[in-house]
Every structure is written in structure tokens, then in C-alpha cells.
Chains A and B, each alone.
Chain A
Amino acid sequence: MLLVVFVFLLLVLLPFLPGLIEYFNPKDNLPLDINFYYSKNPRYFSESFKSKLHSKIKDDEVQKALYANEKVEFFHDNVRFFYFYDIPSNTELNEILYVLNDLKTHENVILNK
């Protein structure tokens, strides 16, 4: 009879054991993280991409293009790199374009890449 009572109590109390261990030796008791400085930024993607380029491509011309205000052109393996770019009308381009700021196109512009 005593054994039955013991087994019963053991089974009742067993589910509380991991909780007691967690309470007295806490491993997961920090508040959920909130980023206080998170702010919706429409330019998030462009800025993130820019910083990736900055860290990955060490070419001087690219570094200059990333942070310079003047128009910088960079030609390499059919890649054209601009700070701003205004494509005139009736143009067909077969290069890959990276434009860091505004890209403006006019009528009848074809970008093949």
C-alpha cells in the first residue's frame, strides 16, 4: 500500500521537477528581446546592400562610388556601377547595372541583363 502511495506521489510530482530545477537554476528567464532602436526605413535594403558591397569589394573605384557624391563609372566584366544613372531614350544595354541611388529611364529603354 505504501509503495502504491509512493508511486502515486512520484507520478504526481514528477512533472514539477524540471520546473523547479529551472526556477532555482534559471537558464531561460530573460525578457524577450525588443530592439529599442528599430525604425522602419524605406532605404533599409539599399543601405544594407551598400554596406555589403563596401565590405566585400575592395576595389578603389567601387569604394569611391559607394560614398562619393559625384558620378563614378566602373566597368568590369560587363558590370556598370553608378552613383546616379539617367538612361537616355532609345537605349539598349547588355551590362549588369548597379545604381546606388536613383535610376531614371526614359522612353524605349531596354535592359537585357
Chain B
Amino acid sequence: MDTRELPLILFTLLTQLAVGLAVFAALRQWATVEGSSVKTRNEWIAILALIGVGVVAAFFHLGKPLGAIRMLANIGTAWLSREILTFAIFGLLAAISLYMVYTKTANGWMLKLTALVGLLAVFTTGMAYAGKAMDAINNLLPLVFFMLTVFTLGPAVATYFVEEKTHALLTSILFPTLLASLVVRFVVPFIWLSGNAVMNATGQNFLTSPLHWLHLAALLAGLFFVRNGKSIPAWLPIVLLIGELLGRIAFFALVVASGANLGGVY
């Protein structure tokens, strides 16, 4: 695997986890009995920390990190610029959310807005990674994969911030997400096999990679252990995190670029 991609693997994973936590912080306030008095301060601290670490990691991806501020220059056509902008706004809103929660002046709209912007940010990430050179994912698949990650890691890690009684709420999202994720991630590489030579090569890479199968195994384990719909074991989020990490490494390492096949039959 090209270790140069590690920063982006971390960035995407951590920010998607952060957005997931934000969604569930907002959801809890909206959907639970506690309503506006629900305690989400720790989540927001975690969210900001995750964003911070993710952004720092992303810096290391750049050949010239000091030029990073200029990445907002091409919002007109570049999804990457839009991603930077949206995450900046998300970060700002998360900070405001934390402040409001901390000073107990939080109103539901701020948290919901933050969560929405977070999802928007993941949307831009999904579009930014649909690179035109990567035939297998030059489509909505990155967006789909990333959203599945948000709704897998969000509820899973949120369990560390909530009481046992809230597990049911989390499981009600986690279980269908795990099911969808398993199905999608299992089927897609097979579909790639019937694509062009570049997609086929990508499909073969995935189907022969332990990274891919371990990811699916983690999802399967998750499905099995939350099937009762009531509680999430404390070790499960770790397994899911590891699974998602392996899957993300596969995403960055195993997708074949069309330029690698020049001179060959497409």
C-alpha cells in the first residue's frame, strides 16, 4: 500500500466518525425523551478533537502544507475546495455547538444545522473522491461508502457517550446500516468484474484482498451482536472501527487507475 495515502485514510475516517457523532448528538436531542436537556458536551469535545486530528493528518498529505490555505481557490469547479469549505463551516458550527451546550444555551436548531452541514461535508468528500481516473469509483459509490461509514461508526462510537437505555435508539440505525453496508460492499466488487478492464482489475483486487474480507467480517460480527436490538457490546465499536479502517485502506490501495492500463485493451 502506498503509505503516502495514510493521512487521507485517517482524515476521511475520523471526519466521518465526527459527523456520525454529530448526527447522533443532534438526533438524541430531537428524538429522545430528554429533549433539549440531553447531555452532549462530551460528544462535541470528541467531535472537535476528531476534526482537529483529521485536519492535521490531512496536512501531512500535502507536498507543500503551508499552501493549504489556498485550497479554497477553486470552489467554482473543484469538489476538493468545496470539501475544505464545508468542513471549515462544520468545524465552526461544531465549536459553536460545543459552546452553546457548555453554556447550556443550546437550541435544537444549532445542533441539527451542524449535523446537516456535517452530512453535506461528507457529501462533498464523496464527490471529491469520485476521481475521473478511477473507473470503479467514478460515480456515487464513494458517497455511498462514506455515508455507510458515517452511519456505522456514528451510532457505534456514540455508545461510549450514552446510557444503556439509549442503545436501542442507536441500534435501530446501526442494524439496518450494517445490513446495507454488508450487502453493498459485498456485491459491488462482483459488479466491477463485469465492467471494463480497469474496473475488472479493481474487482479482482478487492475479492482477493484480506483487507476487504476482514472488513466484511467485522460488519457481519456487528450484525450478529446487535441483532437483539437492545444493546451494543462495549468492544463492538472497536471491531467496527478496525473493520472500517481496513475497508478504507482497501478503498485507497486497491482501486486501479485507468492510466495504468495505457496500451492495453480497455
Asked whether A and B interact, the reply is: no
Which residues on B are within 8 Å of A, measured CB to CB? none
Which residues on A are within 8 Å of B, measured CB to CB? none
